[in-house]
Amino acid sequence: MASSAKAIIILEQCGKNKGYQEMDACGFHPEGDCCMLDGPEKIESTINMKTLWKNISVEGIDIIFSRDAGRYICDYTYYASLYYGNGRAAFIHVPPLSKLVTVDLLGKALQTIILEMLKQCGEER
C-alpha cells in the first residue's frame, strides 16, 4: 500500500431530518422521507466535533470532521439519538478491522476520541 493509505475515522457533527428516500434491507421507508415528522431540519451534537478533530491525532489513522453522515441508516440513527437525547449524542464512523486496522489501533483511537469528548463535557459543567 502507498504510504498515504490510512484507515479513516469520521466524526459527525449533526444529524439531518429529511431526505431519507431509500428503503432499508427490510423494505422500511420513513414516512415523509424524514426521521421525525415534527423534528427540526437538523440537530447539532452538544459535542464540538470540529474542536475534537483539531485536538486529537492517532498514528496510523486519519480522523476527519463531517457535517453529513448520508441519508441512510447512519444519519437516521444519529438524528434519532440527537432528537431523543436533546443533542447529547455522538456518531463516529469507524473502519472495519483488518491487517491495517487492528483491534489495538482502533481501540486506542476510540479511547483517545472518547477521553477528549469527556474533557469537553467536563468543561460545560
Among the options 34, 44, 93, 116, which is catalytic? 93
Active site residue 29: no
CB atoms < 10 A from the CB of 61, how many?
A: 22
8 Å CB contact between 33 and 74:
no
Nearest to 18 by CA among 64, 68, 65: 68
Among the options 34, 44, 59, 74, which is catalytic? 74
Distances in Å between the Cα of 7 and the Cα atoms of 40, 92, 105 are: 33, 13, 10
Active site residue 93: yes
Among the options 12, 14, 31, 41, which is catalytic? 12
8 Å CB contact between 61 and 4:
no
CA distance 42 to 17: 6
Around 70, how many Cα atoms within 13 Å sit in the side-chain half-sphere?
9
The set of catalytic residues is: 12, 74, 93
